[in-house]
Structure 1
Amino acid sequence: MDASSSITRTVVVNAPRSAVWAAITDPDKISQWFGQRTSLDLSVGGEAAFTWDEHGTARAVVTELDEPNAFGFRWAADIDADPVIGNSTLVRFTLSEHAAGTELTVVETGFDTLDRDVADQKQAREANVQGWHAELDELVAYLHGVKA
């Protein structure tokens, strides 16, 4: 996988894996750190919507569910669009035990499969690099204030 077509970020959270799992799969908890509103049918093939007041709604479909190890979804790169091949990327969260709590890795792939020119693919990736940096910082801050 070409590094320019994917994003990987790992954080260590001082919280048990069950708390991190809940924070990435429970719509009420997701809405505390990832946008303002979330709807999620937590089943493979289930639909999800992540809404930011300032950006709109990113629609997604759950692609993987392996509690408490991995959670994945395909989401549309375009706001208010259904995620299909050509307009979406794959996001995968993996959780593992860590001496300090839980290691959480997010990998987003498929920017090179977007039906856009290369410059627009790179721009979409860079926007999400910044987005995952900010959002995972918010997740860590949220979980450090939550007791399991």
Structure 2
Amino acid sequence: MSTEQPQSGDPTGMAGPVTDDARLFPPLQGRAVPVAQDRWERLVSAVDIPQPPEAVWAALTDPGRVAHWFGVCRGNWARADCEVMLDFEDGEFFWCRIQQNSAPTADHPGRLRYLWRWVGIGPVTSVTWTVAASEGGTSVTVVEEAVNPPSDWRSWNGMGWPGILDQLAAHLRTGTTWRWPWRRMGPYLQVPLPAPPFQAWEALTAPGAVRHWLQPCAGSLAVDDEMTVVMGDASGCALLKVTRLVDSGQEFPSYLPYLEFELRRPRWPAPLAGRIWIEPVGLHESLLQVFQSGWEGVGIPAAVVERRILTGYWTSAAARAQMLLRPPGAQAPPIGPHGWSLSGGDDG
């Protein structure tokens, strides 16, 4: 007589084989998963300059000369393994790490290569300048390469670098000491987030998250509700009013969420326009972006000072947004009572 007993709750004793078979007969549903979603982009621009390579190289690598046609260098510009700020003096800057500096010779072109991040917290891209002798002067080529940049990365760079190369050529030809006229757009911020776009948007627009990363002392992100946000120590507040809010899955063609807003300071006679949006970059990551425009219509005499304040505010806000989505267990910076002081990079 058998002494084997059926399992508890199963008078037939057949639960084991059925369970084993079920693993070989999965439900009729999708099992495929994405494993990569990468984009690689390269911009190549070139100009011929009727100057010898040594003169062009000096204008490219001498910090005092670079300040006349590109940006003010704060740190060790063009020195390998050094970091430096390329400052536009309106709050926005590139944070650079120099990788290579080899001057042109009779046999080899000069090459300056570095990595940089916009406002110190944006996605990293690689920039390579090549300075080579050509018939009648010097050929200058700039190559910028990026992995998973913003979807409009090319247009933000002018489909390359023609404007910046023309500024270099004009400086060498005329000795001009100005870079470009006052910009009506900006600040523009980009910050990578360690979460897919829809998940990141839901997390950042939740009322509790808004209170942390945007630092409001009144109001909300509801349409037409005016939110008072703290700019920072001794710099006062701004009034942010959402004029349009498009949630996930609502608008063709991307179905990605965004909001448009007006930003006004008490001393301004008119507001700035603004936009906050998010898009996918790579697998399980996204890019939060903030953009403002309309400085020509604000009508204030010290616009560059106000622009620096806004850039500092949005840079710190973007760093706080990034921190909110930090994976569990990741090391986080200490947070004090003044949340606006948290910054993703040196803002000058």
TM-score range, shorter chain: 0.7 to 0.9
Q: Distance in 2 between matches of 1:55 and 1:32?
A: 17
Match of 2:129 in 1: 93
Higher strand residue share: 1
Gaps of 5+ in 2: 1-39, 105-109, 176-348
The answer as to whether partners of 1:7 and 1:129 remain within 8 angstroms in 2 is no
In the TM superposition, residue 56 of structure 1 has moved relative to its aligned partner by 1.0
Q: Distance in 2 between matches of 1:123 and 1:55?
A: 22
- Shift of the 55–139 alpha-carbon distance from structure 1 to 2, 3 Å rule, reads farther
The answer as to whether partners of 2:132 and 2:138 remain within 8 angstroms in 1 is yes
Match of 1:75 in 2: 116
Higher helix residue share: 1
1:108-143 CA-partner distances (Å, limit 9, x unpaired):
001x244xxxxxx23223212357221111100001
Match of 1:118 in 2: none
Equivalent runs, 1:48-127 vs 2, <5 Å: 48-54=84-90, 56-68=92-104, 69-76=110-117, 78-81=118-121, 87-110=123-146, 112-114=147-149, 121-127=150-156
| RMSD (CA atoms) | 2.1
Q: From the CA coordinates, give the structure whose radius of gyration is larger.
A: 2
1:11-64 CA-partner distances (Å, limit 9, x unpaired):
0011111111111111110111103x1234232211121111345111000011
Instruction: Find the residue that maps to 2:157 and give its secondary structure.
Output: helix
TM-score of the pair, normalised by structure 1: 0.79
- Between the two structures, name the one with larger relative contact order (CA 8 Å, sep ≥ 6): 1
Q: Distance in 2 between matches of 1:67 and 1:94?
A: 10
- Shift of the 52–130 alpha-carbon distance from structure 1 to 2, 3 Å rule, reads farther
Match of 1:23 in 2: 59
Instruction: Please state if 1:46 is matched with 2:82.
Output: yes
Q: Residue type matched to 1:64 in 2?
A: Q
Instruction: Please state if 1:143 is matched with 2:175.
Output: no
Gaps of 5+ in 1: 115-120
Q: Percent identity?
A: 26
Q: Residue type matched to 1:138 in 2?
A: Q
Equivalent runs, 1:8-19 vs 2, <5 Å: 8-19=44-55
